[in-house]
Amino acid sequence: MSDRRIEVLTDLPAATADEVLALIAAGAAEDGQPAVSEQGRLRVRHGSRPGVQHLLLWTGTELAGYGQIDGTDPVEAPTGEFLVHPARRSQGHGRALGDAMLGATGKRLRVWAHGGHPAARHLAVQLGMKMFRELRQMRRPLDAAASGIPEPRLPDGVTVRTFVPGQDEAAWLAVNAAAFAHHPEQGSMTLDDLRDREAESWFDPEGFFLAFRGAALAGFHWTKVHAQEGLGEVYVLGVSPSEQGSGLGRALTAVGLRHLATTRALPAAMLYVDADNGPAVAVYERLGFTTHEADLMYRTES
């Protein structure tokens, strides 16, 4: 299209950020879920981050598409997410955004297709990318009696309390990094990333459980409530490497699920887990979770 142009920014003006968030919301209403992850949306809201680029596709003065590139991983290829407004699809905008992202990264790119929609899968193939990762969303029903959720059995010497903002950030970041050393997206969270989440309306320290062995943080279960959907989430569950195999992860899972079922009275819970993490999938299946949908990641071969 002759009036199509793509603008690349490292910082979004407030008015433009609002336009981007409205575009993402319009896409989510059409597709059933946002095409840009929570982390990506936080980067839109909270200003520039080193290594992050925003691609704005304009048709005249209308924002018709948006892409985000995260090049902060020092080893892996940059990751990307992008979408086109539902009213402007099938006009070549998606291919144009994808080509621009490949050009910006030297054709070294990993791209998420949240929900694995057929159109996104088809576009990834058109861009010469191949699927290499599947992230499952699993769900299970809850009830006010927390039936089917095992009684938490903490290892000897371990106690649990809730997160205290302004006190527990450093300890949590250290254990999160250790627990997710193999998982760059989660393990690389910074203090700014954590504080961005603490500033969100959904943040509730009463649903953020910390397990201690003496004074040392041993593990955690951070829950999240999606109020509009009536859905609780096992948002982040991590155990210090020194505690792995102790049963702490299972106990903390039960603590959080019971909180979502009884204190928050939510009808269902969800979580995300990599499909190739067989042990974790098996644990969650034993807790009554089943696969609801999947996010797919594609990458270039270069």
Q: State residue 145's pLDDT score.
A: 81
Q: Is the dihedral of CA 98, 99, 102, 103 positive or negative?
A: negative
What are the pLDDT digits (tens) for 31-82? 988 999 999 999 999 878 889 999 999 999 999 999 999 998 888 899 999 9
- The answer to whether 85 touches 27, Cβ cutoff 8 Å, is yes
**Sequence letter at residue 67:** G
Q: CA-to-CA distance for 275 and 273, rounded, in angstroms?
A: 6
pLDDT of residue 125: 85
Q: Is the dihedral of CA 137, 140, 144, 150 positive or negative?
A: negative
Q: Which of 128, 161, 178 is the last residue of a domain?
A: 128
Task: Identify the domain boundary among 63, 95, 128.
Answer: 128
Tell me, yes or no, whether 115 and 192 share the same domain: no
Domain that holds residue 31: 4-128
Q: Is residue 150 domain-shared with residue 105, that is, in the same domain? A: no
- pLDDT value of residue 73: 83
117: left (phi over 0), alpha (psi -120 to 50) or beta: beta
259 domain residue, yes or no: yes
Number of domains in the chain: 2
Query: Does 211 map to a domain?
Result: yes
pTM of the full structure:
0.83
pLDDT on residue 280 = 85
Same domain? For 158 and 25 the reply is: no
Statement to judge: residues 108 and 145 lie in one domain: no
Could you tell me if residue 297 is inside a domain?
no
The verdict on 185 and 275 lying in the same domain is: yes
Q: What is the pLDDT of residue 279?
A: 84
Cβ atoms of 115 and 33 within 8 Å: the answer is yes
pLDDT confidence of residue 2: 65
CATH number of 255's domain: 3.40.630.30
In the chain (302 residues long), the average pLDDT of successive 10-residue segments reads 87 95 95 91 88 95 96 88 94 94 94 82 88 92 87 96 98 96 83 94 97 97 94 96 91 96 95 89 90 91 68
